[in-house]
Structure 1
């Protein structure tokens, strides 16, 4: 097969395994593999070649990595997310440069050891001339996504592998390297190739944004709901209107090579000019433009620009913060932050404005440190974030820190607690409503939380508690980037980053039919799990920061006996409960300089000394999913990777085997049982129970009502 020109950066053909193809295509596939093998024989390779265990010298590998540092910088966070999707599947992820030399790999430890036996390791070259037919080398030669499965590998030693690789191109169509997922051939899944291709496109889009961050970028698709997804085309326009570069989706949609597209200007391509685009998007809430090619084909277009002409997306004079209670603070006012959650960490900038970034949340716990490193890699990369964690672990403060460290920091952060707003009102709260939309509404209507977040971040806390019917409307907003208030026929365009959070097992809810699978995949970009307080190793640091926040003048110390009591306690309410306990103790110890046991409330002491505080139900680890090969769905990741037979086995360990029959089988049942037992211990006192659990009275009422 003759390789396509290097400028053709968007090859459409993806090969799969023979058994997955119709009979005519099986024959075509067999003939193709034979061509590949003949090419290897012509290179002087034999099928019984011994693996080459002579990688680059350490210094040479360092030079190769330094030469490809930018590629690694863009690929590393994507590889981490990719690994989250395939963990426990006997697989690894490989990044190779344009010569086929492996620069970096991550994967399951056991499979990495097997890969070492065939020299699938950093520093080794896997181009076809070295390793014969394999996904990395063949993708480099064909300049197209490639699957090589089992016995299709030219060298016999590699027959236990199944490999799916996709080349990575820059905006000018030059190949940068290859991203590959390799695993045991018995674990092959047809969706893996789709996951690799979309991950490669994420890297390419990040490279484009990095190259042309200060240029006008047009994001387009023939269907408006696809704008903002990995399926959107992106072209970069110079100040003179000339096309400077594009991503592969743009080349696919326009049916052009990179070189051919760069011969065009905005005028010759779409019949418009850069000033006309700026004028259109200068309004506060512009609608997408509709532009046409010379053949009459229409595209919906959105524009982004980070340079000095930022006026095309007018910024508000102040950046209000809207919390879940609807309270707003404008410029110069302190936003309401959740007191003491996660680490009680806040700081003030030079001008006195209160802020809390990721740096201030790192309190020395290895789990928190690793989580922050992951999150930092995806900030400003249009990757949705889903935060898992028990109630009280600090999901909202983490979301605020992400917002504060992002390019949207000067725009609103709007937090909506989907569990605290009555079901009958949450739709109006989110989407807003027109005058007279329903009985009892304000005369002039109200702007919904989504529109309030325009330009900034929308934090959907306890997304698992959102009513099912409302999930469909939210999904449409995330796809179309438009909101239609209740009682209105007019849609309002919005530009928002969405962060979701929940303490529930969304995957179980999907199977039960109480959470939409398509919404789950829309929210599921990077999934992180905040550890429970009892699992952290920084309790003393967290406690100290909470006291510093609440008592900046005359901060009391914590006695050794009290700290030992804290470390032995299970903290069912997590950091929120710790903050409540310390706040009360600080008041009781006012003027004494040190918190002793007698400063703690009697109910807490009773529970802590008796060990009666039960461990809360465990939150599931992040669900790993992968997108399909087909690119017809407007989602970042749209289908599960397949049957994860290893996961049920991992969940059914000895602890579960010896569990008593009365143990709750679902997260909801466990919550209700915990609330009832805490309520019984408090002699039916709702206020006392809410303090012990670190949740609101309304939440207790709602959970008990649902649990009947």
Structure 2
């Protein structure tokens, strides 16, 4: 998504051509809106729900919330500075959580697009959230396609989220100013919703046999792989969307099957096939005769064989499993050491304090990989077989963070689940507790945390007793805690309790191992490094300043990997528009010209289409200049109209209309 202009006149606003399916969905939604009694002139309703109802809904949707927020943060990084926001809703359309650009969050509040508000079709008429949930499919609702006029300034792309057992549990939405519409937004939302589904799927069946499969081996470990869960005896438990598609059955139909009936193989044969070689794909034949490549989660036979996870597989991408190896031959910290001298020095320090009961504090800019470093320390410790529990203090609402950390007893507050819930601290007993963004912890909870760390005891909300807890603590922040202490926003005694060893991760622009990092990101995205990067693109990436660090690089390459052509090479036209716009900006610190054909006049991406009526300084009509530019772009992109249109900042229809005007000699 490109950066939104401040005025409509700053760019040519292009309404996306509606797809036939979308037209039908919106027409049906409009009919429902009328039946619900919604008026096109209705004003935003700020009274539909209260804070207490939101708290209850957050508790009811705790499982969804926990798995969605990390993915939302990744998606937010992709759309940062585009005057947009990311929203999570319940299955009924209530907004549970939102994050995004502060200026747009303020504008969204003016139309009641805030947590606690109901955005079902019954209250808001046709809109992406309500319509996606009702139609049970992803949809973009743009501008005046919204039923209520007050929402015509919005463009919203929304995808339903399915629970592990097939029912709709919520929805993920990206909403922005209607002038900042981008055709790839819905695809990103769909991908992100599928990530949430896959994360929930993995958490729901920790002891099940999970089979990962796809007709092409290079797609194992990616979002499009099928995942099916079975009991050790072979009874079917669940399957994600891709698995249902490949198996050619709905979730309900699959419930009547077993592993043997679906794969024509007894469960015992599967165990024998993957014994000792969980990372090596094998071919199996589906019940319909289609051959697929498979891998499965095989527990290590030896306590010293620990699965190593690719360090760059964060919340935005599925983890890539690497073959188990004896601990000591390839530790997780060693795997993170990719040749940068600063990072190597940090890893050397951390190795000395592993298993010494010394708290570690990791400093660094957002996106530098503080969470990956914490996970690596845990993997290298004697606690590696015990839980690693991460808490992002910035992503949990203030109203829930106390219950999230310390747990609660039944009846501790309205909406509390029966039998209560253990908090993150108790869940980490015996293992490692990672407190990410510790600088954002509310002041009133810092004293409770300090007491837990000092006395090694925790008291859940509503409980009359304390429970002993044994955890190694790692904290991280991108903020200056000493400044927070000076302002009275962070307890000094807690600070000195957490900073046994302080290390500062270098920003990506400060590292000397950029090429190695790119290779690891591509490996994490695709399961292997078969996607190449054109030299001119690599040159741009190496020179860029990367304010979002490794997370920004990961998001950019993830999008580029989706856009590549058959030659599997990332080229300039595969990079996101906002990234290219930033590189072209004359005041940008990088300030470098992008490689482009030598044209008398070539507009940048997002610029107004060339006029065929204006005159250039030499008195010649720009009509010829336009045709020359189109011809050269078509030659450059080997006749690919979409790529040429994107590079010129015009619609494909514009090129199709003018293509027959191009002299044959211009296309040679």
- Per the shorter chain, which TM-score range? 0.5 to 0.7
Structure 1 residue 172: Cα displacement: 1.3
Change in Cα spacing, 1:474 to 1:20, as seen in structure 2 (3 Å) is: closer
Residue 122 (structure 1) aligned with residue 54 (structure 2): no
Question: 1:96 is matched with which residue: 70, 89, 102?
Answer: 89
Q: For 1:353-368, list aligned pairs within 5 A.
A: 360-362=360-362, 367=364
Equivalent position of 1:225 in the other structure:
218
Change in Cα spacing, 1:301 to 1:406, as seen in structure 2 (3 Å) is: farther
Question: 1:652 is matched with which residue: 566, 587, 600?
Answer: 587
User: C-alpha deviations, 1:547-582, integer Å up to 9, x for none?
Assistant: xxxxxxxxxxxxxxxxxxxxxxxxxxxxxxxxxxxx
Change in Cα spacing, 1:281 to 1:175, as seen in structure 2 (3 Å) is: same
Structure 1 residue 190: Cα displacement: 0.7
Q: TM-score, normalised by structure 2?
A: 0.55
Hey, what's the Cα distance between the residues in 2 that align with 1:200 and 1:289? 28
Equivalent position of 1:198 in the other structure:
191
Equivalent position of 2:446 in the other structure:
none
Equivalent position of 2:171 in the other structure:
178
Structure 1 residue 255: Cα displacement: 2.1
Residue 68 (structure 1) aligned with residue 61 (structure 2): yes
Hey, what's the Cα distance between the residues in 2 that align with 1:250 and 1:244? 12
Hey, what's the Cα distance between the residues in 2 that align with 1:190 and 1:274? 44
Change in Cα spacing, 1:323 to 1:622, as seen in structure 2 (3 Å) is: closer
Hey, what's the Cα distance between the residues in 1 that align with 2:74 and 2:251? 29
Hey, what's the Cα distance between the residues in 2 that align with 1:183 and 1:405? 45
Residue 627 (structure 1) aligned with residue 636 (structure 2): no
Equivalent position of 1:341 in the other structure:
346
User: C-alpha deviations, 1:361-398, integer Å up to 9, x for none?
Assistant: 33xx5x55x658x753xx6xxxxxxxxxxxxxxxxx77
Hey, what's the Cα distance between the residues in 2 that align with 1:162 and 1:237? 41
Hey, what's the Cα distance between the residues in 2 that align with 1:243 and 1:482? 33
Change in Cα spacing, 1:477 to 1:36, as seen in structure 2 (3 Å) is: closer
User: C-alpha deviations, 1:599-630, integer Å up to 9, x for none?
Assistant: xxxxxxxxxxxxxxxxxxxxx99875663897
Hey, what's the Cα distance between the residues in 2 that align with 1:149 and 1:108? 19
Hey, what's the Cα distance between the residues in 2 that align with 1:245 and 1:73? 20
Unaligned runs of 5+ in 1: 1-16, 329-335, 380-396, 411-459, 484-505, 531-619, 658-663, 667-708
Residue 53 (structure 1) aligned with residue 62 (structure 2): no
- 2:85–2:100: 8 Å Cα contact kept in structure 1? yes
Structure 1 residue 280: Cα displacement: 1.0
Change in Cα spacing, 1:398 to 1:111, as seen in structure 2 (3 Å) is: same
Structure 1 residue 463: Cα displacement: 4.7
Q: For 1:258-657, list aligned pairs within 5 A.
A: 258-284=251-277, 287-306=280-299, 315-321=324-330, 340-341=345-346, 344-345=349-350, 348=353, 360-362=360-362, 367=364, 375-376=370-371, 400-401=376-377, 404=380, 462-465=512-515, 479=526, 512-514=536-538, 528=549, 624=556, 627=559, 639-644=574-579, 647-648=582-583, 652=587
Equivalent position of 1:595 in the other structure:
none
Secondary structure of the corresponding residue to residue 103 of structure 1: strand
- Which has the greater radius of gyration? 1
Residue 239 (structure 1) aligned with residue 232 (structure 2): yes
Structure 1 residue 289: Cα displacement: 2.0
- 2:521–2:554: 8 Å Cα contact kept in structure 1? no
Change in Cα spacing, 1:294 to 1:284, as seen in structure 2 (3 Å) is: closer
Equivalent position of 1:208 in the other structure:
201
Structure 1 residue 272: Cα displacement: 0.9
User: C-alpha deviations, 1:221-280, integer Å up to 9, x for none?
Assistant: 000110000110000011220110011111122221111112111111111122111111
- 1:162–1:185: 8 Å Cα contact kept in structure 2? yes
Equivalent position of 2:98 in the other structure:
105
Name the count of aligned residue pairs.
Answer: 432
Hey, what's the Cα distance between the residues in 2 that align with 1:60 and 1:406? 44
Secondary structure of the corresponding residue to residue 287 of structure 1: coil
Secondary structure of the corresponding residue to residue 49 of structure 1: coil
Structure 1 residue 287: Cα displacement: 3.2
User: C-alpha deviations, 1:149-200, integer Å up to 9, x for none?
Assistant: 1110000000010000011111210111000000011111111111000101
Secondary structure of the corresponding residue to residue 361 of structure 1: strand
Structure 1 residue 105: Cα displacement: 0.1
Deviates more, 1:52-61 or 1:25-34: 25-34
Structure 1 residue 482: Cα displacement: 9.7
Change in Cα spacing, 1:482 to 1:405, as seen in structure 2 (3 Å) is: farther
Hey, what's the Cα distance between the residues in 1 that align with 2:555 and 2:266? 45
Hey, what's the Cα distance between the residues in 2 that align with 1:158 and 1:467? 42
Hey, what's the Cα distance between the residues in 2 that align with 1:48 and 1:629? 43
Change in Cα spacing, 1:179 to 1:271, as seen in structure 2 (3 Å) is: same
Q: TM-score, normalised by structure 1?
A: 0.52
Equivalent position of 1:333 in the other structure:
none
Hey, what's the Cα distance between the residues in 1 that align with 2:286 and 2:264? 8
Secondary structure of the corresponding residue to residue 181 of structure 1: strand
Structure 1 residue 132: Cα displacement: 0.6
Residue 145 (structure 1) aligned with residue 195 (structure 2): no
Hey, what's the Cα distance between the residues in 2 that align with 1:293 and 1:405? 41
Hey, what's the Cα distance between the residues in 2 that align with 1:79 and 1:59? 24
Hey, what's the Cα distance between the residues in 1 that align with 2:576 and 2:274? 39
Secondary structure of the corresponding residue to residue 151 of structure 1: helix
Hey, what's the Cα distance between the residues in 2 that align with 1:527 and 1:407? 31
Hey, what's the Cα distance between the residues in 2 that align with 1:626 and 1:265? 35
Measured on the aligned residues, the alpha-carbon RMSD in Å equals: 4.8
Secondary structure of the corresponding residue to residue 627 of structure 1: helix
